[in-house]
Amino acid sequence: MKRNTTNNQRTNTMRNIILVGFLSIVSLPLLSAPEIKGSPQELKGFLYPTDKIVTISGEAEETAYSDKAIVSLVITTENKLLSEAISKNGLLRENITGSLAASGISLDSIKSSRFSSSPQYGWLGSKPSSFKVVNRMAISITNESHLKEIAAVADQSVEIELSDTAFEHTQKDEFNEKVKASALEKILKQKDFYEKSLGVKLVPVGIRDSNVHHRATRGAMVLEEIVVTAARLEKPKSSSFMEYQDQPQEPSFDEVRYQASMSVDFKIED
């Protein structure tokens, strides 16, 4: 009996020693952690910075007119022999290129693309009675007189058709920078006004380009809709599934509005 009591005491002693050692190890990081001291106001400033930030926003827009047009000519030739149809098509395009170059349009602005050919069958015919070859020429111009020259060339032959005109604005990057600069100028004017009125100093600490883009004006969109609708109504239907067709193109507009919206964060200093 006495021996059992002694063993229990030893067991309890060992448990206490182990528990004390464990608590000592756990408490070491707590004892070594830095202690933050100070008044409630000082502690609040440490945990929550007191910098006062104000955001000023500005918007700007500019309207520009497209200064470049890409005119598409479709050249269609047909012959019993495919080689003859191809040769005639190439000769027509060479003549068109020569006429346009003579009128002052540079050769670099005249491109040929989208070549296609398709056999034409007669009634109940198992062999093609002829071959139709179609090619598109794209001419880049920058003034109206060149458009008149292209129209004159198209009027010379039923095999030449003026099919489409797309507009471009070549100064897109310059106008994007222009509206950004204008929006930023408005922000700086507001900054000067607040500094003088409130007697504070505003120091820029951040800037955001929240929205810089361009789109067609309402008038340009209406005009484009009228032109596209008329072209669809006038386009003849064809029974040949291999007949040349223009690929879908992005809408183009003669008048474009550039817009920018910016925000600048300022730190308030008394």
> What amino acid occupies position 146?
H
This model's pTM is above 0.85: no
Digit-coded pLDDT (tens) for 105-158: 999 999 987 677 788 877 666 788 889 999 999 999 988 889 899 999 999 999
Q: In the 8-state DSSP scheme, what is residue 200?
A: -
For the chain, the straight-line distance linking the first and the last C-alpha, in angstroms and rounded, comes to: 84
What are the structural domains, with CATH classification, of the chain? 40-67+170-217+253-270 (3.30.110.170), 68-168 (3.30.70.2970)
- The pLDDT, as a whole number, for residue 182 is 95
Partners of 111 in beta bridges: 138
- Helix, strand or coil, per DSSP, at residue 203: strand
- The pLDDT, as a whole number, for residue 102 is 93
Using a 10 angstrom Cβ sphere, with 0-12 exposed, 13-18 middle and 19 or more buried, the burial of residue 119 is middle
Which residue spans within 80-224 are E strands per DSSP?
110-121, 128-141, 160-168, 201-216
Question: Among residues 151, 173, 136, which one has the least CA distance to residue 105?
Answer: 151
Tokens at residue 232, please? 């669809």
Report the C-alpha gap between 128 and 204 in whole angstroms: 75
**In the chain, what percentage of residues exceed pLDDT 90?**
38
- The pLDDT, as a whole number, for residue 256 is 83
Digit-coded pLDDT (tens) for 20-77: 555 555 454 444 445 555 566 555 555 555 578 899 999 999 988 888 888 999 999 9
- The pLDDT, as a whole number, for residue 42 is 57
